[in-house]
Amino acid sequence: MALQQLSTEVCIIGSGPAAHTAAIYAARAELKPILFEGFLANGIAAGGQLTTTTGAHATWGGQQLQQQQQQQQQQQQQQQQQQQQQQQQQQQQQKGYDHEKPLGLHAAVAKAAHAPADMGHAVDVENFPGFPEGILGVELTGRMREQSERCGAAIYTETVAKVDLSKRPFKVWTDEKEVTAQTVIIATGAVAKRLPFKGSDEDNGYWNRGISACAVCDGAAPIFRNKPIAVIGGGDSAMEEATFLTK
């Protein structure tokens, strides 16, 4: 099958905050960026490590996809209820307020920003600016994706298989496309190196329910604070994590 040929000023590889920040700025500069967010790269869904910050690890298949969809539906229902309550309050306070009129974009975003995170999960994202009560990782990455698309970025859920950076224009290949680009931004992030043992997985174990790979990210969480903690590792990273946790 012949590959689809595409051309762009900027091609972005990645799906986390860095990738979407690049996509937003490139799109606003009318560079028509193409972003490849990957499909289960290294076993992690598009969105990178942010999708693993909650108890229900999000991927794009099977039972885990259903869990993600259920989370999103519950959040939407909660936000709708809160918006309805806010509308009723405004109706009482403001004479002539049209309670049938939907909230504007900025009001809806502001309301969602103040919506409490689902605290049924062990760990949520609580150190990202703008969400004082935390936000689910999958919801945060979803909002980033929506913003990139709204600004004009073309996003493909495909994994990059090969790149040629030897000369301009650069070339990027997936299983379905060949892209030529004047600039390639690689924002593929990192993956935690785990120690496999019984009880360490996401589905039935304690990953993100007591096992973490980032002391700076999660050390302040209630499940870790003032508790006996073990750090597994013998290199510089392990020593730095252990030192941080003593403070």
Higher-confidence residue of 39 and 170: namely 170
Q: Is there a contact between 67 and 73 (Cβ–Cβ < 8 Å)?
A: no
From the list 20, 38, 33, the residue with the least C-alpha distance to 144 is: 20
Give CA angle at 48 (17, 135), nearest 5°: 65
Q: State the pTM of this model.
A: 0.64
Question: What is the model's pLDDT at position 147?
Answer: 97
> Among 85-89, 187-191, 212-216, whose mean pLDDT is lowest?
85-89
Residues of the chain with CATH 3.50.50.60: 4-53+125-186, 192-246
Question: Looking at this protein, which amino acid is placed at residue 172?
Answer: V
Q: Is 35 helix (H, G, I), strand (E, B) or coil?
A: strand
Please report the pLDDT score of residue 119 as a whole number.
37
What are the C-alpha distances in Å from 245 to residues 4, 9, 73, 216, 240? 50, 44, 36, 8, 9
Q: Within 10 A of 125 (CB to CB), how many other CB atoms are there?
A: 19
pLDDT for 223 beyond 80:
no
Structure tokens at 153: 């970025």
Span 40-44, average pLDDT: 61
| Closest CA relative to residue 65, chosen from 78, 79, 46, 84 | 46
Tell me: the pLDDT tens digits for 97-121? 343 433 333 343 334 334 443 434 4
pLDDT at 190: 80
Task: Classify domain 4-53+125-186 by CATH architecture.
Answer: 3-Layer(bba) Sandwich (3.50)
The domain covering 192-246 belongs, at the CATH homologous superfamily level, to FAD/NAD(P)-binding domain (3.50.50.60)
* pLDDT at residue number 24: 98
Residues near 41 by Cβ (< 8 Å), separated by ≥ 6? 159, 188
Sign of CA dihedral 235, 237, 239, 245: negative
Q: Pick the residue with more confidence: 142 or 96?
A: 142
Round to whole Å and give the CA distance between 209 and 226.
16
How far is it between the farthest Cα atoms of the chain? 67
How many angstroms separate the CA atoms of 189 and 186, rounded?
9
Alpha carbon distance 41, 188 (integer Å): 9
What pLDDT is recorded for position 178? 98
Among 167, 56, 150, 161, smallest CA distance to 109 is for 150
Residue 212 has pLDDT above 90, yes or no: no
Helix (H/G/I), strand (E/B), else coil: 147: helix
